Amino acid sequence: MASFPAVLQSEWTKIRSVRSTIWTLALTFLVTLGLGALLSLLTNKNFQEFAGDRRTPFDATGTAFSGIILGELAIIVFGVLAIGNEYSSGMIRVSLAAVPQRGTLLTGKAVVLGALALAVSLVTAFVTFFVGQSLLGGHSTTIGSPHVLRAVFGAALYLTMLCLFAAGVTAMLHNQTLALGVLVPFFFLLSPILSAVPKVKTLARYFPDYAGSRMLLVYEQSGQPYGPWSGFFICLGWTLAALVGGALVLKNRDA
Model confidence pLDDT, tens digit, residues 150-164: 999 999 999 999 999
Cβ atoms 156, 118 nearer than 8 A = yes
Burial of 140 (0-12, 13-18, 19+ CB in 10 A): buried
Cβ atoms 238, 167 nearer than 8 A = no
CA distance 182 to 185: 6
SS (H, E, C) 15-47: HHCCHHHHHHHHHHHHHHHHHHHHHHHHHHHCH
- Residues recorded for the chain: 255
Cα–Cα–Cα angle for 91, 92, 98, rounded to 5 degrees:
95
CA distance 247 to 172: 8
pLDDT exceeds 60 at position 1:
no
CA distance 219 to 146: 9
CA distance 60 to 157: 19
For residue 192, the surrounding DSSP H or E stretch is helix 191-195
CA distance 161 to 244: 14
pLDDT exceeds 70 at position 222:
no
Percent of the chain with pLDDT over 70: 94
Strand, helix or coil for residue 209: helix
CA distance 64 to 55: 20
CA distance 199 to 31: 34
CA distance 161 to 105: 19
Read off the pLDDT of each residue in 180-194 and give the average, rounded to a whole number: 87
- What does the DSSP assignment read for 65-127? TTTHHHHHHHHHHHHHHHHHHHHHHTTHHHHHHH---HHHHHHHHHHHHHHHHHHHHHHHHHH
- Per-domain boundaries in the chain: 4-252
46 DSSP 8-state letter: T
pLDDT exceeds 70 at position 239:
yes
Model confidence pLDDT, tens digit, residues 46-79: 877 766 556 667 888 998 999 999 999 999 999 9
Taking alpha carbons only, the member of 113, 50, 58, 121 closest to residue 82 is: 113
Read off the pLDDT of each residue in 242-250 and give the average, rounded to a whole number: 90
Full-model pTM: 0.91
Please give the pLDDT value at position 175.
85
